[in-house]
Amino acid sequence: MQSRFLVLFPTAMVVMVLVAIAGILWGTADISWSDRVAILMRNEDAPRGLSLIVWQWRIPRVLAVGLIGAGLALAGALMQTALRNPMADPYLMGLSSGASAAAVAAIIWLPSEVTETVGVPLIAFSGAALAFLMTLGLSQQRGRQLDPLIVILAGVAVSLMFQSVTAFFLYIGDPHVTRNALGWLMGTAAGTEWRELPLLALALVMIAGGFLMRANALDATLLGEERAQALGIRTGRLRVMIFVATVVLTGLAVSVAGIVGFIGLIVPHMARLLVGARHKVLLPLSMVLGAIVLIAVDLLCRTLLAPEELPLGVLLALFAAPPFILILRGLRRAV
């Protein structure tokens, strides 16, 4: 598997760069090839309006969805390890539902001055953090370590509660306002700005680096609680670190692009099929594959029905359904 990784990882990096370039060059605006080259080279004779589209809209958007895809894939791989559950994903702990409820409440009920000052992304991140704290609170048992099964059940309960709150807000809210909320719930990277990228990149680099240094501990966790502890791994502490990292990565992703599902569930399985379960190779490949998938899907969202734009979450779910079914069939054979 190591030799396969040495071939697959550079190949995936090249594919990621090519997909990112395609995401920058193509979109709803029709730009000639000569103008594209002039814009990318920052020539003085490049059309200013088209230059603005590429440098202020497309490039930050492509970089953002790449970072979000990588972050969600990393969070999914870590969650599946922490809970030893192949069906775990970053949204399992109610994060997406909490963020959705907070964002919808802000869009529908708060004055525009407040949302413009504080920002819907920050409010959504706060909702995700609240859902995480509620899930941990329901999972905690005095004098005992976190039980993965209890965490999953608590996350489902918190998700259902916040989904009900979101549905209630949408039902009683002004239809003209709820349309904006629904657009955010279906996921979109439109309007991404340069200032949103540094925090995404910093969080991804720090969390990925930290867990790559603990790759052996993550591998030992897959052996089971008792064996990992016998090897000196503090599984409870490691699991909490994974949960906190998942909150940061998922909360930032949701705050920028809304609800983007399936990446954290499907992509880690794709990486395992290619290079195995060793985290030293699994985590980097998962991140690159996550970036490739989300950049490519975002490009399709912008071009399939141009000039109309499809919601990112809708198209992603459509493409993710077939591999999801294949994974389920594979798990059934394994059992």
What are the pLDDT digits (tens) for 184-200?
777 788 778 888 899 89
What are the pLDDT digits (tens) for 231-261? 778 877 888 899 889 988 988 888 788 888 7
- Return the amino acid letter for 177: V
Q: How far apart are CA 190 and CA 333, in angstroms?
A: 41
Share of the chain above pLDDT 90, in %: 22
Task: Look at the chain and count its residues.
Answer: 335
Task: Check residue 60 and give its pLDDT.
Answer: 93
What are the pLDDT digits (tens) for 245-303? 998 898 888 878 888 878 888 899 889 888 888 999 999 999 999 999 999 999 988 88
Among 265, 300, 301, 315, CA closest to 286: 265
Q: How far apart are CA 292 and CA 19, in angstroms?
A: 7
Task: Check residue 335 and give its pLDDT.
Answer: 47
Q: How far apart are CA 276 and CA 215, in angstroms?
A: 13
CA dihedral (59, 60, 61, 66) in degrees, to 10, reads 90
What is the count of structural domains for the chain?
Answer: 1
Among 107, 99, 115, 257, CA closest to 163: 99
Residue 48, CA atoms < 13 Å, CB-side half-sphere: 0
Q: How far apart are CA 162 and CA 127, in angstroms?
A: 9
The mean pLDDT value of the chain amounts to: 83
* In contact, 124 and 254? CB cutoff 8 Å: yes
For the domain that residue 285 is a member of, what is the CATH number? 1.10.3470.10
Element (H, E) at 25: helix 2-25
- 124-148 burial, b at 16+ Cβ within 10 Å, e below that, comes to bbbbbbbbbebbbeebeeeeeebeb
- Other beta carbons within 10 Å of 17: 11
What does each C-alpha distance from 237 to 58, 136, 179 come to in angstroms? 40, 13, 42
Q: How far apart are CA 312 and CA 317, in angstroms?
A: 9
Among 193, 188, 181, CA closest to 302: 188
Banded pLDDT at 332 (limits 50, 70, 90): low
Task: Check residue 301 and give its pLDDT.
Answer: 87
- Domain that residue 308 falls in: 2-334
pLDDT above 70 for 329? no
Among 131, 159, 135, 161, CA closest to 146: 135
- 19-48 burial, b at 16+ Cβ within 10 Å, e below that, comes to bbeebbbbbeeebeeebbebbbeeeeebee
pTM: 0.88
